[in-house]
Amino acid sequence: MWLCAAAAAALLALLLLRRWHRERQTVPRLSEKHVLITGCDSGFGKLLARQLDRRGLRVLAACLTESGAAQLRAGTSERLQTVLLDVTCSESIARVTAWVRERVGDRGLWGLVNNAGIAIPTAPNEWLSKEDFVKVLDVNLVGLVEVTLSLLPLVRRARGRVVNVSSVMGRLSCFGGGYCISKFGVEAFSDSLRRELRPFGVQVSIIEPGGFQTGMIDPGPLVKGFVRLWERLPAETQAAYGRRYVDKYARSTALLHRLSSCRLSPVTDAMAHALLSRCPRSRYAAGWDARLIFLPLSYCPAWLSDAIIGFFLPIPASEVP
């Protein structure tokens, strides 16, 4: 019995060592590879663009604003090129696709990183309108799908990589609004895409960050928006939740922001590995909270995860004894 256990442990160790060795190997000729990154005005996209530029890749950085593009160009080499992209606009996506095609030529596009995203408005689902959901879904999911479909022929030509930024909230929905819904959708789209493109030699990876201070969620504006949403509710709904619900939500949001990491490199390192490793992973969890709390919690029975998450949620006035 002990001999079998030792043999199994040794086999597992060898498999892990083999995986570690394969994942350390990078693809060749980085200076010839083009990578398009969306959402490069700030946060993960901006840091990844700089990181890949330092490694000699030809970075095509898509920004929403000219000021964001100018700031990125000022801190990078002449190899990096910027373009304005609104992922909610089909005309903008078509224009950028033509722009990318001109630059990559017959080599194709090695990497597409779908990073652009928003999180607000976030609130209890009952407080939101259809338009509030659509605003987030258009950027985080529909825009991601359209950008991917437009550029897939170029990625397939290069036998390259697609990297979709989801979230640990794509595994476990902890709050209302379109954000978690959109990230569940990104997970589903990426899974089907990975299986479809594998025969063409294209790798698809999902990045699942935990809590990071990217500027996408600022507690001040978030809480003010939350209060405005509460104020527009019918009197009956306001009475059901109560003003204390809003105040506790504000305190919880501030606490989560303080616990979030301001060090973004764990996420961008995962993105870079998905783009450059000979053997990229299908999924990358980034952040201590993602690895130690939310991912394990996503595998728990619903009654247990509900109880743990519910402990941190505000209590509506109508439920207070």
Tens of pLDDT along 186-234? 999 999 999 999 999 999 999 999 887 766 556 666 777 777 888 888 8
According to CATH, the topology of domain 28-216+262-309 is Rossmann fold (3.40.50)
> Would you kindly state where each structural domain of the chain is located, as residue ranges?
28-216+262-309
Is 245 an annotated catalytic residue? no
82 pLDDT higher than 90 = yes
Q: What percent of the chain has pLDDT over 90?
A: 50
pLDDT of 40 reads 92
Neighbours of 218 (CB within 10 A): 14
- Of 23-27, 68-72, 103-107, the least confident: 23-27
Span 158-194, pLDDT tens digits: 999 999 999 988 898 888 889 999 999 999 999 999 9
The answer to whether residues 45 and 116 touch, using CB atoms and an 8 Å cutoff, is: yes
What is the pLDDT confidence band of residue 35, given thresholds at 50, 70 and 90? very high
The overall average pLDDT reported for the chain is 86
Span 279-313, pLDDT tens digits: 899 999 988 888 888 889 898 899 998 888 887 77
Active-site residue (options: 179, 241, 245, 284): 179
What span, in angstroms and rounded, lies between the C-alpha atoms of 203 and 206?
A: 10
Nearest residue to 62 (alpha-carbon basis) of 131, 139, 134, 132: 139
Beta bridge partners of 34: 58
Q: What is the pLDDT averaged over residues 27-45?
A: 89
pLDDT of 244 reads 80
